[in-house]
Amino acid sequence: MPLSPGGLGSWVERVGAALGATGPARALGGSAWRLTAGGVPVVAKVAPGAADEAAGLRVLAAVAGAPAVPEVLLCDGDLLVTSWVDQAPATAAHHERLGAGLAALHSANAGAWGGGSGWIGRCRVDPRPDADGPRFYGRRLVDLAARCGLRAEVEPVAARLGYLAPWPAPAPLHGDLWWGNVLWGADGGPWLVDPSQHGGHPEEDLAMLALFGDVPVRALAAYREVRPLDGDWERRVGLWQLYPLLVHAVLFGGAYRSRAAAVARHYGGPRS
């Protein structure tokens, strides 16, 4: 349920106590609000997983060359406050810097598969780290599938993950990288917000970007200049989209469930 600064004023008071006098709050959608605190524009969210999101922003911020992320100004229980990002219309330079930045992020080593956030949006996911990539993804996919009645369709995919894709070292991922979580900064660079950060396969972030809109040609070209992609990567886009589709099936059902089932049947069969 979206928060109302009038109905749940305690979070505004918490922001003021920590960061200085607050100005009027303007809804940004969902549980996010823009307001000033101490004379500075900030974004405040009150939601489950606030601590995980803050930790994820700090992980992404520490990777040299990765896209910029807002600064964490306050994390207090379910309250997260970050710096505000001034935005501008997207340009070719934005796209190129996004591609190069994601490639830099994905060139780092996360150390383990999984870990990080136990939330993607308002959906719980298993955050346990794992030394084995196929096992991590298989466990996560089957758990989500069981919660939306698609276990029979998804289990064959999970069983085949070891040879459906190559498995490089796990990279730090944004983990919820759809276009609503990419901001085109007035500084000329892309900014990433609302991560579900974890160690994973680099193709996952790219596939999620493609789920709700095309990845710009310039972004993909810039990515490949920094970090080459396996020759068969395009055949696996749907495979990596199965995870966010299952998340949406858990949260919303309907067409997302049908689409997840179709994807699972494609990759779970002997000819995938």
What is the bridge-based pairing of β-strands 26-29 and 40-46? unpaired
CA atoms within 13 A on the CB side of 40: 16
Question: Which of the following is catalytic: 52, 86, 132, 176?
Answer: 176
CB contact at 8 A, 219 and 96: yes
What is the bridge-based pairing of β-strands 182-184 and 190-192? antiparallel
Residue carrying structure tokens 């049947």: 265
Side chain identity at residue 27, one-letter code: A
Residue of 221, 203, 219 lying closest to 211 (CA atoms): 203
CA angle 88, 93, 97 (to 5 degrees): 100
Q: Is residue 176 annotated as a catalytic residue, yes or no?
A: yes
Contacts of 241 (CB under 8 A, 6+ apart): 207, 208, 210, 211, 263
* Catalytic residue list: 176
